[in-house]
């Protein structure tokens, strides 16, 4: 396919458009009877089992999706990503988050340089620093050990580390290594978030890690200044050197802020913010909390998936299959959303993280060369752990709109409980739902079945489930640092696959800029009105009225 051609103009795309009409005539109830099909739709790799037999697809569909992948040059695009080419063309950058978890002896060249050795020199520095802090050899200004960490950052400098931290919090090995320590995340510029984060903390025993790729993000910088003030007010300005460190690609601005460059942990412009959890962005705060060896396992899990993604044939390649199925659901079935439903409370921050990775990556309106797209890209990602979600939004998924679901289950609980006299363990109880929900969605319940159950006639329409609702199931052996790394990388690569097929740039995010610059204009107005009493000017009627009301009411 020539670079300017759109994927929707290719034969495989047109073929799938016709094919989906045939598929719509099938019901999952019938498709699930085909054991050969179901068997072929199960893939295992490194302890992970993917079952996509509850997708509205046949083996013929999968073959056609592979042809679409060929037409989109998927394999070449994956190769270009792994080989450090500047595939983020609008920012002229490589996309090399895979290098962040590559083994020490691996060579990945970008711009004529082996980036893996740079990665490991920062990892070594993090290991050394985190061990000093954890052992108490690095102390605060008053000689006390720093047992609490506040990581200040937003977006990609927050959501990934928060997801991993939340997932590790109840892992037995991680609990042991985190004993006596706290890790908190300050993201929102809302002063309430500052208050919540510093409540109960003593600056004497707190280390602040300012995490910002650019070191210019308004929210993060204001929060960093606020915590700098919190430290200086109690311990004096010189305490900042002992109580504040930074993670950034912009080491000049780190120094300008007043953080010793020796206490800055670098990463590189070839790491996208939302793909940065495996850089110092995640590795530093997580190593401070759990120790470097736990975090190294997380990196190894992600690296295992990187190797799989880069080498497995399509039919066995979990991220490729997931990405193609997402394209199938969005572009051919026309389903605009995707629910991410982990049956693990430890994964409660997984959907919010994937929401950013996915929606910031693939919510685009033009192709990589700027051609407006005649088809939608990206999907609306949302989710909650099961079974909580079942008591919230599942009603809509069962009887309302069709939303393809990802069910994520864990074989061995981090915290098993067996109560004497109960039918099953608490984890089996949870997992009963994990296994039941996909079939409830796929099979539904017919009026005939309800009649046989003697359901009152007038209730039958309300109690009928149409079924034929797609889902896929991912079963992880356990939820330790390694598995968490695997899960992260599966989703990162799945999202890249979708973008590669749609022919977009999944690695830029120009859509967040306009709001930022308008906020700048409002900020200037607020300052001028509050300090010099200047009237609100230069906005439309609505914004002018809202701002005037806000200024008047807040100065009363």
Instruction: Enumerate binding residues for ligand F6P (CB under 6 A).
Output: 154-157, 212-214, 217, 220, 273-274, 360, 509, 512
| C-beta of residue 489 within 8 angstroms of C-beta of residue 506 | no
CB of 296 to ligand F6P, least distance (A): 23
Please state the closest distance from residue 157 (CB atom) to ligand F6P, in A: 4
Length of the chain: 556
3-state DSSP percent of the chain in helix, strand and coil, to 5? 55, 10, 35
The one catalytic residue in 24, 412, 516, 524 is 516
The residue annotated as part of the active site, out of 391, 412, 524, 549, is: 391
Closest CA to 97 of 151, 185, 160: 160
Q: What count of other Cβ atoms lies within 10 Å of the Cβ of residue 121?
A: 10
Query: CB 470 → ligand F6P: shortest distance, Å?
Result: 30
* Dihedral angle over CA of 493, 496, 498, 500, nearest 10: -130
> Minimum distance between the CB of residue 189 and ligand F6P, rounded to whole angstroms?
12
* The one catalytic residue among 296, 360, 384, 492: 360
Least Å from the CB of residue 102 to ligand F6P: 22
Q: Is 208 helix (H, G, I), strand (E, B) or coil?
A: strand
Q: Give the alpha-carbon dihedral of 172, 178, 182, 186, to 10 degrees.
A: -80
Nearer to ligand F6P, 160 or 385 (CB): 160
- Give Cα separations from 2 to 72, 372, 377, 503, 513 (angstroms): 10, 16, 20, 11, 30
Residues 6+ apart with CB under 8 A from 495: 323, 354, 357, 358, 361, 362, 506
Cβ distance to ligand F6P smaller for residue 279 or 329 = 279
How far apart (Å, rounded) are the C-alpha atoms in residues 187 and 531? Answer: 28
In the 8-state DSSP scheme, what is residue 156? Answer: G
> How is 222-267 classified by DSSP, letter by letter?
HHHHHHHHHHHHHH-GGGHHHHEEEEES-HHHHHHHT--GGGEEE-
Q: Which is nearer to ligand F6P, 107 or 512 (CB)?
A: 512
First to last CA, the chain: 64
By beta-carbon proximity to ligand F6P, the closer residue of 68 and 246 is 246
Q: Which is nearer to ligand F6P, 250 or 529 (CB)?
A: 250
The Cα 520–Cα 425 span in angstroms is 54
Report, in Å, the least distance between residue 358 CB and ligand F6P. Answer: 13
Nearest alpha carbon to residue 480 among 164, 177, 178:
164
Query: At its nearest, how many Å lie between ligand F6P and the CB of residue 427?
Result: 34
φ, ψ for residue 160 (rounded to 5)? -65, -55
* 219 catalytic residue (yes or no): no
Task: Tell me whether residue 482 or residue 507 sits nearer to ligand F6P (CB atom).
Answer: 507
For residue 368, the minimal CB distance to ligand F6P (Å) is 18
Query: Inter-axis angle of helices 481-502 and 74-82, to 10 degrees?
Result: 130
Residue 377 CB, nearest approach to ligand F6P (Å): 17
Secondary structure, 3-state, 357-419: HHHHHHCCCECCCCCECCCCCCCEEECCCCCHHHHCCHHHHHHCCCCCEEEEEECCCCCCCCC
Residue 360 annotated as catalytic: yes
Measure CA 250 to chain center.
23
**Closer CB to ligand F6P, 31 or 259, in the complex:** 259
Q: Burial-class residue 255 by CB neighbours within 10 Å (0-12, 13-18, 19+).
A: middle
- Chain-centroid distance of CA 144 in Å reads 36
Pairwise CA distance, residues 474 & 481, whole Å: 17
Active-site residue, 532 included: no
Residue appearing with tokens 């996909």: 438
Least separation, in Å, of the C-beta of 163 and ligand F6P?
13
Task: Between 217 and 362, name the residue whose CB sits nearer to ligand F6P.
Answer: 217
In the complex, minimum distance from the CB of residue 187 to ligand F6P, in angstroms, rounded to a whole number: 9
CB 97 within 8 A of CB 492: yes
CB closer to ligand F6P out of 212 and 525: 212
Q: Of 281 and 321, which has the nearer Cβ to ligand F6P?
A: 281
Name which of 436 and 512 has its Cβ closer to ligand F6P: 512
Residue holding tokens 């060929």? 70
Catalytic residues: 360, 391, 516
């Amino acid at each position: 396919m020539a670079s300017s051609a759109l994927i929707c103009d290719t034969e495989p795309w047109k073929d799938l458009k016709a094919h989906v009409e045939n598929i719509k005539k099938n019901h999952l109830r019938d498709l699930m009877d085909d054991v050969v099909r179901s068997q072929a739709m199960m893939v295992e790799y490194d302890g992970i089992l993917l079952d996509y037999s509850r997708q509205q697809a046949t083996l013929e569909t999968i073959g056609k999706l592979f042809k679409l992948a060929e037409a989109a040059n998927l394999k070449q695009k994956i190769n270009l990503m792994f080989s450090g080419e500047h595939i983020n063309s609008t920012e002229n950058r490589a996309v090399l988050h895979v290098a962040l978890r590559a083994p020490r002896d691996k060579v990945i060249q970008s711009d004529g340089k082996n980036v893996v050795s740079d990665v490991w020199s920062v990892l070594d520095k993090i290991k050394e620093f985190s061990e000093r802090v954890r052992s108490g050899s690095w102390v605060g200004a008053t000689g006390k050990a720093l047992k609490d960490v506040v990581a200040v950052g937003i977006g990609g400098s927050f959501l990934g580390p928060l997801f991993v931290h939340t997932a590790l919090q109840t892992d037995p090995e991680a609990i042991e290594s985190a004993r006596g320590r706290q890790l908190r995340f300050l993201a929102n510029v809302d002063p309430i978030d500052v208050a919540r984060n510093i409540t109960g903390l003593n600056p004497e025993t707190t280390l602040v890690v300012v995490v910002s790729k650019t070191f210019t993000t308004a929210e993060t910088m204001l929060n960093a200044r606020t915590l700098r003030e919190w430290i200086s007010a109690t311990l004096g300005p010189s305490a900042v050197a002992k109580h504040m460190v930074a993670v950034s690609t912009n080491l000049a601005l780190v120094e300008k802020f007043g953080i010793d460059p020796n206490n800055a942990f670098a990463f590189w412009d070839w790491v996208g913010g939302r793909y940065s959890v495996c850089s110092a962005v995640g590795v530093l705060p997580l190593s401070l909390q759990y120790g470097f060896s736990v975090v190294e396992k997380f990196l190894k899990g992600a690296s295992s998936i990187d190797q799989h993604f880069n080498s497995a044939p399509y039919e066995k390649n979990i991220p490729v299959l997931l990405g193609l199925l997402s394209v199938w659901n969005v572009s051919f079935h026309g389903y605009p959303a995707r629910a991410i439903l982990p049956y693990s409370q430890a994964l409660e921050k997984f959907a919010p993280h994937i929401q950013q990775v996915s929606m910031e990556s693939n919510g685009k309106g033009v192709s990589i060369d700027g051609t407006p797209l005649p088809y939608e890209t990206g999907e609306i990602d949302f989710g909650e752990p099961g079974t909580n979600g079942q008591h919230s939004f599942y009603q809509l998924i069962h009887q309302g709109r069709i939303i393809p679901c990802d069910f994520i289950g864990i074989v061995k609980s981090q915290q098993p409980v067996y109560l004497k006299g109960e039918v099953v363990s608490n984890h089996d109880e949870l997992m009963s739902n994990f296994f039941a929900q996909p079939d409830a969605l796929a099979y539904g319940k017919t009026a005939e079945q309800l009649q046989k159950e003697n359901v009152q006639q007038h209730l039958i329409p309300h109690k009928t489930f149409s079924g034929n609702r797609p889902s896929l199931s991912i079963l992880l052996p356990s939820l330790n640092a390694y598995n968490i790394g695997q899960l992260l990388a599966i989703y990162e690569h799945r999202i890249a696959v979708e973008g590669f097929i749609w022919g977009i740039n999944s690695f830029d995010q120009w859509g967040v800029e306009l709001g930022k610059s308008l906020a700048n204009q409002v900020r200037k107005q607020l300052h001028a009105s509050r300090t010099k009493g200047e009237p609100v000017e230069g906005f439309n009627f609505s914004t002018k009225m809202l701002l005037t009301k806000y200024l008047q009411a807040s100065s009363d």
